[in-house]
Structure 1
């Protein structure tokens, strides 16, 4: 087991394997890693995780898998290898793409949203997974019981509503996410108002298309009535760019471009993105979303996560008048059970006192 003197990387891998996967030493682990030349996961991550997992007692193999913009079937030899593993760790976009699709094996599967050694060895990877699950559960409960939920942001967002019924569990149990960085998405069906879009639209990571990132100037105000985006207002060039992009992606994949499925906010105070979204939008969309400064909305498609993501920076989210997020800062102590989570995990409480603020947006 892990010791107090263990390195940050060893703590992160132990948290992933023992805390998230529920694995036991001696089990077999297959790491499926994407070609590092694609610059999605850091090139030194898979070898470091494999070596560390071996020191923790796991029978570890690592092999490279190809990347496909749209999820498909893996080669037969990879599928055969997967059948022999107790646990599969995806350091590849394929793992995230397959969260909502059947998998060709029975092994416990995990996809890592810690994309670099530094992220896995730092607070994002080492805060105990059980504490993050407890925090998620407390926030889920608060969201589901709130009579009035309001979302605002500095650019003019004003969205209001409630969860009309408990959200149906999303079919992501086949692939566990590590670290746990968001609460369960709230269906947009119970909400209405206006959302301020600014800076960019970006893909969700379900399908990778070109252009994956659409920068634009100005603020586009989208009027929402439940799951429908009914109006786009703002500078004509920005509105035209947004409408054209939505129409393009919806048309390519046969989707309802104006369907707005659900939303949620990051909950992990250790989640940081030190780069810039424009330099690597695919990596950004796979890792930055867990920061509490980012609220994201699943759109363009009547399913999670859709194909276009709207992002709000520094939201305030109030539940029955209590600001759980205030200007992009999460305050777990303001909801039932939140203080107990912090009391049970002093390192998480300390991190909320000085959370990561880098989210890759200028």
Structure 2
């Protein structure tokens, strides 16, 4: 077995994701560690790997502006001069659906630390997960019915109407690739079991996360939030949370935009989620134990997420996820993909189920 190191993860990012070649100009737009999200080592690790590959490296501190994410004139100018732009910063995630210069090779990294760069999340061949994403998309695009359940009582059904055009996904390349193309929610109805509400990483606001004392169900009808059921006090708090966020941001309160589940069994979160919900929400959604709805706002990714744990997803009678395990070998092309990329196959044989919380299910 090849030893996993952060340097190997950085090389996978540069070679297999960004397709970097000697002589390319790499711009790393980074967020300093003082903001508590990206660590202090990642820029150095990736920069060193890039220079070893013969790339020229430029770096720029883009800070973190939760209320007004934007590309400054200097950043935009330096992006235009680069062949590859890598965001080791939340700014890239905040703007991943918009405002990026066209025609540029732009990569947003969700591996925000030395630990994640050195884990199977980053070291497994990037192409394997691109192929798995395509395989899942193909199955979903031809499906007649999908059901989503979980041990806590989620029960959602619908017929997917996939948008596999460029408009249906983000405008940047993500590393690692950990989800399939979001499924539009307008044809789905049912109830979603929730233990908390948290933001999506699009905008940051006071009261970003709301935890419940007991399970709460979000009720959805054809992609619209119709209410909540559960403990009376928690239901009132949930309604007030949606009122406050939608009013403050002037967005469609009850719109449920889309959903996706994690496809990367190496995507672990080895920290306590409650220490930093923002960091957790920007990472753990790629683990197959998490299914993630984008809500509150008629756009991706919305501003409030619903997170379903240990989902079972049945597509036309076939369970491709069972209690949070992604059974990639059930995809028509799955066995071939896993055979050609043994690094990915090993992750599926030994998935990392640590998502930062202990669930009694």
TM-score band (shorter)?
over 0.9
Q: Relative to structure 1, is the Cα distance of residues 9 and 144 closer, same or farther in structure 2, using a 3 angstrom cutoff?
A: same
Q: Distance in 2 between matches of 1:237 and 1:149?
A: 32
Measured after TM superposition, the shift of residue 105 of structure 1 is: 6.5
1:211 aligned partner: 207
- 1:183 is matched with which residue? 180
Counterpart pick for 1:231 among 227, 230, 233: 227
Q: Tell me by how many angstroms 1:222 deviates.
A: 2.0
SS of 1:247's partner is helix
2:9 equivalent in structure 1: 12
| Structure 2 residues not aligned, in runs of 5+ | none
Contact in 1 for aligned 2:93/2:201 (Cα 8 Å): yes
Query: 1:331 matched to which residue of 2?
Result: 327
Is the 8 Å Cα contact of residues 70 and 206 (structure 1) preserved in structure 2?
no
Return the offset for 1:132: 0.5
Residue 197, structure 1, aligned to residue 157, structure 2: no
Which of residues 104, 108, 130 is equivalent to 1:133? 130
Q: What pairs up with 1:115-134 in 2 under 5 angstroms?
A: 115-134=112-131
* 2:150 pairs with one of 153, 160, 164: 153
CA RMSD across the alignment: 1.7
When the two structures are superposed, what TM-score results if normalisation uses the length of structure 2?
0.95
Q: How does 1:1-362 map to 2 (within 5 A)?
A: 8-104=5-101, 106-164=103-161, 166-170=163-167, 172=169, 174-198=171-195, 200-362=196-358
Deviation readout 1:248-296 (Å, 9 max, x if unpaired):
1000000112111110100001000011222111111111110000000
- Unaligned ranges ≥5, structure 1: none
Q: Evaluate the alpha carbon distance shift between residue 218 and residue 173 of structure 1 in structure 2; reply closer, same or farther with a 3 A threshold.
A: closer
Distance 1:321 1:217, change over 3 A: same
Equivalent-residue separation in structure 2 for 1:337 and 1:75 (angstroms): 43
Deviation at 1:120, TM superposition (A): 1.1
Between the aligned partners of 1:269 and 1:8, the Cα distance in structure 2 is 18
Give the drift of 1:212: 1.3
Shift of 1:242: 0.8
CA distance in 2, matches of 1:66, 1:338: 40
What's the CA shift string for 1:193-248, capped at 9, x where partnerless?
111112x1110000011111111111112221111111211101110111111111
What are the superposed Cα offsets for residues 63-114 of structure 1, whole Å, 9 maximum, x if unpaired? 2112111344333222222221111110101001111112246431101000
TM-score, normalised relative to structure 1: 0.95
